[in-house]
Amino acid sequence: MTSTPRRNPWLFLAIFSLGFCARIVYSALAVDVNARLQDDASQFDFIGWRLAQGMDYVAQDGYRTHRAPAQSLLLAGTYAVFGHDWSAGRVVMAGLGAATGVLVTDIGWLLFGMQVGVAAGLTWAMFPYSLFFCGTLLSEPLCALFGALSICSLIRLRQNPAWIAAWAAFSALCTLTRPNMGILFILGLGWVAYKFRPRWLGCALGVAVFAACVLPWTVRNYRVHGTFVPITTMGGVVLWEANNPYVLADPALIGRAAHAPDLPEGRLADGLSEVEEDSLDFHLALDFIRSHPGALPRLVAQKLRNLFNPFPHTPSVAPQRIAIIFVPIMLFLLLAGMVAIMHRKDIHAIPVLLPIAAVLATAIVYWADARIRAPADPEIVLVCVYGAHFLLGRRWFHRP
């Protein structure tokens, strides 16, 4: 952790403004405001509008707990103020993405110095994947923000034990946005145990705050379903969608996910509750994993490739061209950044790697694409910039 000069708040404001304007311009020029929302965005929008009208939490397909609540609640608050306006939602997403850039700057400045922090913040302000997701109503910008807030708190543990409570609360909000990011909290507990004394007190405080934040939603789920459902009824569904013989046999699907109701086993779910359906899919996935151990290395390798796929399947050509150029550079600099952290034995930088580890674990267990990676993109950008800084500082990188 470096000693840094006094920070100028106007610099942070400038980074926020650049990021916000870039996302507004992208939405204005590249997003078809009349196009129907797709996939998860449609569900978040539907639930959010229902909540804004005082109705209950139910998606179009009748499922009551398939979606984690944070994104729908955010849209509900937006719609309650501005009406059912997708453009207002996109402005809020732009604000979330811009605020994440401020956090990237802060984390980088604190860990690696002013140059890396400011460069990382400016890079995030124009990061193409963030611009794209902020033009949707998906949960990626919100999850990335909560993840960055979690890391921003985690690196300050030595300054004030109260940061443990902040870290746990933001980790809980991250999990309530994307349940797989509960892995981030588990990994963070290891850092708390390493940095805080007494260990048991720091870990107990973190678990208590995390549980207190998640508990209201879990209680709601119990009242709805009559059984214990921590966050969603999608864990088993997604596990089965990503780990089944049909994706394994289809080159276009391997490493991604099939739609569970469209699979032949979908008929087994007829008449089941959504909790029972989730349990059925969970056991189907476990049976597949147990019966195909030899296929797992190929399946996992394809998932990891999809996490940084330079040839994504997109509706338009422009994102494909950007990915072809951008992803290889990002992978090279990410590797360089990790080498720099190990070479310099910068233990204080370990928290920045935790979201990356969380999305890698998610990809291995479930499936992978840019959306799965998105919650760790702020930290990936920071490590990439640190890698570039490391390479520029090496003697062999300079001409004699």
**In the 8-state DSSP scheme, what is residue 368?**
-
312 belongs to a structural domain: no
277 belongs to a structural domain: yes
266 belongs to a structural domain: yes
69 belongs to a structural domain: no
304 belongs to a structural domain: no
Domain that holds residue 247: 233-283
- Predicted TM-score (pTM) of the model is 0.95
Q: Please tell me the total count of domains within the chain.
A: 1
Query: Which long-range CB contacts under 8 A does 129-133 form with residues at least 24 apart?
Result: 129/370, 129/374, 129/377, 130/23, 130/97, 130/100, 130/374, 130/377, 131/22, 131/23, 131/26, 131/97, 132/26, 132/319, 133/93, 133/97, 133/371, 133/374
Specify the pLDDT at position 316.
Answer: 65
Specify the pLDDT at position 382.
Answer: 98
Low pLDDT (below 70) residues in the chain: 1-5, 159, 314-318, 394-400
196 belongs to a structural domain: no
259 belongs to a structural domain: yes
Specify the pLDDT at position 158.
Answer: 75
123 belongs to a structural domain: no
